[in-house]
Amino acid sequence: MMEAPTNLEIRCAELGRKLSERVKDEKVFNEALSILEEQGPYAMFLYLKARHKEEAGPISEKSLDFLSSIFGLSKKGDVLEAIKELATDLDRLLFARDLLRTALSYARYHLKAGKD
């Protein structure tokens, strides 16, 4: 079995591709990025759950798998609980925010590339 790439840029690009395959509305990614920048990961996932119920599931699920694989999180199944766990260490939380920002940006790029 082939190991997952350890290059985090590539891992973010792969997450972005997976997200763009499940969510076809670029507006969702734009709004998620905006909330992520202003209020952080917890607010972003909560916003998605409140405003984009259909898209929140796939984004949360894939993001949780990604974050769990990077940070070894114990809160499987609930992305909000996982973010709370990350929040116990500010450096890890900020790093997770940066990784999510990169992945969501790649999701937008994949959507744009798919339209051509």
**Residue 76 within any structural domain of the chain:** yes
Identify the helix (H) or strand (E) that includes residue 49: helix 41-51
**Residue 56 within any structural domain of the chain:** yes
Taking the whole predicted model, whether its pTM rises above 0.85 is answered as: yes
Q: Which residues of the chain carry a pLDDT beneath 50?
A: 1-2
**Residue 28 within any structural domain of the chain:** yes
Which residues, 6 or more positions from 70, have their beta carbon under 8 angstroms from its beta carbon? 8, 11, 96, 99
Helices (H) and strands (E) in the chain, counts: 6, 0
pLDDT tens, residue by residue, 16-42: 999 999 999 999 999 999 999 999 999
The owner of tokens 């920002």 is 101
User: How many structural domains does the chain have?
Assistant: 1
**Residue 108 within any structural domain of the chain:** yes
